[in-house]
A and B are shown apart, each in its own frame.
Chain A
């Protein structure tokens, strides 16, 4: 028994004192039994077991301590080598920690609501594509399904807050009561909405967010009951909601912290919430026993009934339900996982490089290893020493990498890239630190194990002989070869992936827009009155437009409801005059409401007929259509002169016939999406208080303050408009592809640099090892060409093997990306071929530079190395 425990001691100690300890133990045990009996013997034995285990631990710790000191000495003696290793690992570990931090906050973390797995998002559909629900539909769906413990419908809105200094626009949500209960959020102050808030004639109530409370009310505890004026109407604050509650808006819209919620009666009979007005989303919480599949089936059945009962409004519409988490994260998860895999690949390449460096360096310490073995260092000891050294390098790299990651994550959040949800939660926190530590351990094993085992297995006698003649078939050569192949394969896969993403991005942005975005801005304005059909309001709009057009640098200005890339479109049903379709079979088209300057300001070309004129405004007699509309509904014939009846066919009363007076070229609403048929209606036909003022300027653009001044001069109650450039809109639209291309590109560059450095190092080392051989060959008159080929040959063969392997890896990797690519196939042959060629060329250069040094070996020097 004692012997078994003694085996825990390090081999050197065991070999020296093991037998002696065992015999002593036996003697003393007998002694103890004689003098103190069986119990005394037992006591002695237990004490001795504990003692020997303690000794084993102490001896091993002392050995590690010696390794640490040895490593420290190595670091001091060869700081350059140490610096390269530590920097390589720091970059790789830092990149991994950064990617992990982002992945964790954006994808892996659960939603910040209790039992968030039961939260679901309901989205209306139209012809199978995502659209929106109407309030009566929502009402009927909640009545006809049993799967939900709570359901709430909501729609984003905004309001101008007045009476508290300068008017400001704040985004908010109109919601049926029960939203907060569905999410499981309790108010910080006050209460949530209840039936009393939506009773007919009830006083107007509003709930505000924590950030709004802090900024507008200075976080005063007495805010409950205070008045708040929204769009000219007086509301009473009844609750403050905590900061963890984000807008339940599962779009890509920028989420803002300052916001409010206004309750809506689900049974409202207001016309603007009619069954045909599809613009709500819904969120629900499943009942404890209900499954998503069951809820989906219930909803489909219920909606099918609604479509039959209300063919005009609901035919062709539907509802889709998915976990709330999916709705927020689902789109972006494949991309982030692809990036995470790429960054892990870079880590592998970095570890391979470090392993190679360790192998090369240690190979020149042949004799030291041999001597240590000869004087009794066990193989385990040598392996342990190498691993301790690698761990110290990795730990230093990890510490530096953590600092890099913390900075990188902070910069990432500050840059606020569009297209990624939940990035406010991204930071370098405890899980990221833990992950960094795991990466350090992994690097130690990956980079250190191979050198440790390869180096400790050599025979002693060979190494002690002076060998200037050892070819590359020296210690660890095979291991180094495998590493080069692996590096090249991973690098090839990474470069191909990033090349495909880059091509996607270029393909997307190469598409013609149909308008000129340069120097164009959009100011989002909330007008203080309800409708723009009033002539007085139109006069106000014109006054403002003139004032803005007169600002220095402004070339043109125009009012509209929506513009390309602003994501504000909506649909309208219509009929052809004299050809009314049956209920629910009406065609519908995207519509925009514009003034007479719209097409010229935007730079959209007129193809036939005329644009809109000032005299067209305020009536529905004239409309302009785009090319897609003309093609879809008028085939090759001229659409000008066509007659339409706008609105849903069940609208009561005679409708005025609307004439198509012109056709404009298509303007793309989004990269990657084909233009849709569109109608351009004159201002005043469809009233809306929230408008865009398009401003085209010569220079960099007009700042919001100047525009705000122009507006306030016309009406002091107008809040400062929010201004965004079209360059910004375009950038937001390609945000994800840009992110993919940029990050994969950066990672591919790093991997390429590491691999080329690795090839360079391998060939350099080979040349140094075979100096003797090259000297003789040169002295014997060998052609330089052949010597170089000999020096670089084996390395290039490894590169070739790596390329073949890499093509397979790339085929798999691009499959991961296929959902993100546009205009280029995952297995696009030209890209694969081009990248292979480029990589082979680069590798050739990396190998030839040191290889040519072989021809410059002085034969006399080489021969002297005997």
Chain B
């Protein structure tokens, strides 16, 4: 596990990684929900297959960016393993989001994107 290093050193994140962190930023999710949310948010362009999804989840868990929740003791627990962001994971997601916003700002000044409307 990485120590308290600057999260910016770990940027840019892989695509699958950021989408998963983004999905978990909205709260605890289980695997299926994460994949569905990513698919909806990217209008179907990014589809995380079951293998890639859990491989990335395994790596993120090992790195300490997400954690499996102990969750409620219902018998759906058997099927649904849920995950949440750890504080570290949240900081890293924020750093990546900030990096992307900075890029978008530059894109706006270069007229690649329309300027933010004021209204």
Interface residues of A (CB under 8 A from B): 2, 6, 9, 13, 16-17, 20-21, 23-25, 27-28, 31, 47-48, 50-56, 58-59
* CA A56 to CA B54, docked complex, whole Å: 11
**Interchain CB contact under 8 A, B79 and A23:** yes
* Interface: B55 (CB within 8 A): yes
* CA A51 to CA B47, docked complex, whole Å: 10
* Interface: B36 (CB within 8 A): yes
* Partner among B35, B36, B55 whose Cβ is within 8 Å of the Cβ of A55: B55
* Partner among A23, A27, A56 whose Cβ is within 8 Å of the Cβ of B51: A56
Give 24 A-B contacts (CB < 8 Å), ordered by A residue.
Answer: A2-B50, A13-B54, A13-B55, A17-B57, A20-B54, A20-B79, A20-B81, A23-B79, A24-B50, A25-B50, A28-B32, A47-B47, A48-B49, A48-B50, A50-B49, A51-B49, A51-B50, A52-B49, A52-B51, A53-B51, A54-B52, A55-B54, A55-B55, A56-B51
- Closest-CB distance, B69 to chain A (whole angstroms): 14
* CA A27 to CA B31, docked complex, whole Å: 11
* CA A56 to CA B49, docked complex, whole Å: 12
Residues of B contacting A54 in the complex (Cβ-Cβ under 8 angstroms): 49, 51-52
**Interchain CB contact under 8 A, A55 and B51:** yes
**Interchain CB contact under 8 A, B36 and A21:** no
- Closest-CB distance, B56 to chain A (whole angstroms): 10
**Interchain CB contact under 8 A, A58 and B35:** no
> Known: A13-B58, A17-B58, A47-B47. Contact between A24 and B35, CB under 8 A?
yes
Q: 6 shortest A-B CB distances, which residue pairs?
A: A51-B49, A55-B51, A52-B51, A17-B54, A21-B50, A51-B51
* CA A817 to CA B108, docked complex, whole Å: 86
Residues of A contacting B47 in the complex (Cβ-Cβ under 8 angstroms): 47
Most buried by A among B32, B36, B47, B50: B50
**Interchain CB contact under 8 A, B55 and A59:** yes
* CA A28 to CA B52, docked complex, whole Å: 15
Residue of A nearest to B55 (CB): A55
Count how many chain B residues have C-beta atoms less than 8 Å from C-beta atoms of the other chain: 16
- Closest-CB distance, B26 to chain A (whole angstroms): 19
* CA A53 to CA B52, docked complex, whole Å: 10
* CA A13 to CA B47, docked complex, whole Å: 21
* CA A234 to CA B12, docked complex, whole Å: 85
**Interchain CB contact under 8 A, A24 and B52:** no
**Interchain CB contact under 8 A, A28 and B51:** no
* CA A53 to CA B51, docked complex, whole Å: 8
- Closest-CB distance, B62 to chain A (whole angstroms): 11
Q: Which of B26-46 contact A (CB under 8 A)?
A: 31-32, 35-36
Residue of A nearest to B56 (CB): A55
* CA A53 to CA B50, docked complex, whole Å: 10
* CA A48 to CA B31, docked complex, whole Å: 14
Most buried by B among A6, A13, A23: A23
* CA A50 to CA B57, docked complex, whole Å: 19
- Closest-CB distance, B85 to chain A (whole angstroms): 19
* CA A694 to CA B102, docked complex, whole Å: 98
Residue of B nearest to A54 (CB): B51
Residues of B contacting A9 in the complex (Cβ-Cβ under 8 angstroms): 51
* CA A671 to CA B111, docked complex, whole Å: 97
- Closest-CB distance, B30 to chain A (whole angstroms): 8
Residues of A contacting B31 in the complex (Cβ-Cβ under 8 angstroms): 20, 24
Residues of B contacting A21 in the complex (Cβ-Cβ under 8 angstroms): 50-51, 54
Residues of B contacting A17 in the complex (Cβ-Cβ under 8 angstroms): 54, 57-58
Chain A binding site: helix, strand, loop or mixed by DSSP?
helix
Residue of B nearest to A16 (CB): B58
Residues of A contacting B57 in the complex (Cβ-Cβ under 8 angstroms): 17
Most buried by A among B32, B36, B55, B57: B55
Residues of A contacting B50 in the complex (Cβ-Cβ under 8 angstroms): 2, 21, 24-25, 28, 48, 51-52
**Interchain CB contact under 8 A, B32 and A55:** no
**Interchain CB contact under 8 A, A47 and B55:** no
Residues of B contacting A16 in the complex (Cβ-Cβ under 8 angstroms): 58
- Closest-CB distance, B33 to chain A (whole angstroms): 10
* CA A220 to CA B50, docked complex, whole Å: 73
* CA A31 to CA B35, docked complex, whole Å: 12
Residue of B nearest to A12 (CB): B58
* CA A48 to CA B47, docked complex, whole Å: 10
* CA A16 to CA B68, docked complex, whole Å: 12
> Known: A51-B50, A55-B52. Contact between A28 and B35, CB under 8 A?
yes
Since A2-B50, A17-B58 are in contact, a sample of 17 more A-B pairs with Cβ atoms closer than 8 Å, ordered by chain A residue number, is A6-B51, A13-B58, A16-B58, A20-B31, A21-B51, A24-B31, A24-B32, A27-B32, A28-B32, A28-B35, A47-B47, A47-B49, A48-B49, A51-B49, A54-B52, A55-B49, A55-B52
Most buried by B among A20, A21, A53, A56: A20
- Closest-CB distance, B45 to chain A (whole angstroms): 13
How does the 8 Å CB contact mask read for B85-96 relative to A, with 1 for contact and 0 for none? 000000000000
Residues of B contacting A55 in the complex (Cβ-Cβ under 8 angstroms): 49, 51-52, 54-55
- Closest-CB distance, A200 to chain B (whole angstroms): 88
* CA A6 to CA B55, docked complex, whole Å: 12
* CA A674 to CA B52, docked complex, whole Å: 82
* CA A51 to CA B51, docked complex, whole Å: 6
- Closest-CB distance, A53 to chain B (whole angstroms): 8
**Interchain CB contact under 8 A, B54 and A51:** no
- Closest-CB distance, B5 to chain A (whole angstroms): 22
- Closest-CB distance, A489 to chain B (whole angstroms): 50
* CA A107 to CA B49, docked complex, whole Å: 56
Residues of B contacting A31 in the complex (Cβ-Cβ under 8 angstroms): 36
* CA A47 to CA B48, docked complex, whole Å: 10
Residue of B nearest to A13 (CB): B58
Residues of A contacting B36 in the complex (Cβ-Cβ under 8 angstroms): 28, 31
* CA A25 to CA B50, docked complex, whole Å: 7
Residues of B contacting A25 in the complex (Cβ-Cβ under 8 angstroms): 50
Residues of B contacting A51 in the complex (Cβ-Cβ under 8 angstroms): 49-52
Residue of B nearest to A56 (CB): B51
Residue of B nearest to A51 (CB): B49
> Known: A21-B50, A27-B32, A48-B50. Contact between A58 and B55, CB under 8 A?
yes
Residues of B contacting A6 in the complex (Cβ-Cβ under 8 angstroms): 51
- Closest-CB distance, B68 to chain A (whole angstroms): 10
Most buried by A among B49, B51, B57, B58: B51
Residues of A contacting B35 in the complex (Cβ-Cβ under 8 angstroms): 24, 28
- Closest-CB distance, A66 to chain B (whole angstroms): 12
Residues of B contacting A47 in the complex (Cβ-Cβ under 8 angstroms): 47, 49
* CA A13 to CA B52, docked complex, whole Å: 12
Residue of B nearest to A25 (CB): B50
Residues of B contacting A28 in the complex (Cβ-Cβ under 8 angstroms): 32, 35-36, 50
* CA A47 to CA B46, docked complex, whole Å: 12
- Closest-CB distance, B79 to chain A (whole angstroms): 5
Most buried by B among A13, A21, A25: A21
- Closest-CB distance, B72 to chain A (whole angstroms): 17
Residue of A nearest to B34 (CB): A24
- Closest-CB distance, A507 to chain B (whole angstroms): 71
Residue of B nearest to A52 (CB): B51
* CA A9 to CA B79, docked complex, whole Å: 20
Residues of B contacting A52 in the complex (Cβ-Cβ under 8 angstroms): 49-51
Residues of B contacting A27 in the complex (Cβ-Cβ under 8 angstroms): 32
* CA A13 to CA B54, docked complex, whole Å: 9
Residues of A contacting B55 in the complex (Cβ-Cβ under 8 angstroms): 13, 55, 58-59
- Closest-CB distance, A705 to chain B (whole angstroms): 77
Residues of A contacting B58 in the complex (Cβ-Cβ under 8 angstroms): 13, 16-17
* CA A61 to CA B52, docked complex, whole Å: 15
* CA A58 to CA B49, docked complex, whole Å: 14
* CA A721 to CA B55, docked complex, whole Å: 81
Residue of B nearest to A58 (CB): B55
- Closest-CB distance, A448 to chain B (whole angstroms): 29
Residue of B nearest to A53 (CB): B51
* CA A52 to CA B81, docked complex, whole Å: 19
How does the 8 Å CB contact mask read for B73-91 relative to A, with 1 for contact and 0 for none? 0000001010000000000
* CA A31 to CA B47, docked complex, whole Å: 14
Residues of B contacting A50 in the complex (Cβ-Cβ under 8 angstroms): 49
Residues of A contacting B53 in the complex (Cβ-Cβ under 8 angstroms): 24
- Closest-CB distance, A518 to chain B (whole angstroms): 80
